[in-house]
Amino acid sequence: METNKKPSKKPCASSKPAPNVIPTKVVKTGFKDSLKSNNQEKCKSVPSPDCSPKKVSLDKLEITSELGSEVIVFDRSCEYNREKLTKRARAKFFNNNIAIALANLKTSLKDKYWDTFHCSHRIIVSGTEAKSKFCKNRWCLICNRIRTAQLIQKYGLTLDSWKEKVFLTLTVKNCTAEKLKDTLDKMHKYFTEIKDSERKAGRNLIGIRKLEITYNRTENTYHPHFHFVLESGLSAESIIEK
């Protein structure tokens, strides 16, 4: 028997400006024989990134002061539509739920988690300027949105100037939590050796490197790997060979 269900109504946004706004994402940067078998097919060309603001769901905020006083000033000269404000409020909502759950674990980072809970809790608007306080903790969704936007601005012009861009991923086998630190140390050591070898050969590796670690809940293991955006395919092939 078919039943007619009324479509759920979208929650209407308040006419008042959302109190919990401000954005986030970035990964910390940071192999040898163990990499060869895993990385032969990982090198491929990628098109130039589209840095158009309309296609980037991040708030490119112009930060004009550091967090010495825990206050950040950002540019409000552009208009924010209701959709963007809703996304920012949603990020704050999820951020609070995560922060409370972590704070309830009563670990040594409890105070830091509460800082995240209060991150961007209040925004003071004056003319075209808005001020708020941010925790700058790595796990904070809001602060990560800002960091990601900053990195887009930082690397965008350089990447656009390259005629060729190659994306490369170097991986190792999954490891347990107990072996994760040793695995990361080896990864950094091997890559340093690769850079030294290239420099001695008169070639400098030019690119962006990021370290990412994913977690396998089923096997309870961690998968650390490097992501690169390199200036040329020759650089990528050289890394894979070594």
Question: How do beta strands 221-230 and 123-126 pair?
Answer: unpaired
Find all residues with CB under 8 Å of 175, minimum gap 6, and list them.
Answer: 183, 221, 222, 224
Residue 59 has pLDDT above 90, yes or no: no
Structure tokens at 203: 């070639």
Put simply, whether the predicted model's pTM sits higher than 0.85 gets the answer no
Structural domain spans, the chain: 33-241
| CA angle centred on 122, ends 116 and 70, rounded to 5° | 60
Contact, 120 vs 99, CB < 8 A?
A: no
For residues 72, 73, 79, 84, the Cα torsion angle rounded to the nearest 10 degrees is: 0
Determine the average pLDDT of the residues in 63-69: 38
**Residue 157 CA, distance from chain mean position:** 18
Q: Which residues of 114-123 are buried (b: 16+ CB within 10 A; e: fewer)?
A: ebbbebbeeb
Answer whether 116's CB lies under 8 Å from 110's CB.
Answer: no
Structure tokens at 163: 């005629």
Asked whether residue 46 carries a pLDDT value surpassing 50, the answer given is no
Give which of 22, 21, 18, 30 is closest to 224, Cα–Cα. 30
* pLDDT digit string, tens, across residues 110-140: 999 999 999 988 877 777 777 788 999 988 9
Phi, psi torsion values for 33, nearest 5 degrees: -60, -35
Percentage of residues in the chain having pLDDT higher than 70: 66
Contact between residue 133 and residue 70 where contact means Cβ atoms under 8 Å apart? yes
Q: What is the pLDDT of residues 160-195, one digit of tens each?
A: 888 888 999 999 999 999 999 999 999 999 999 988
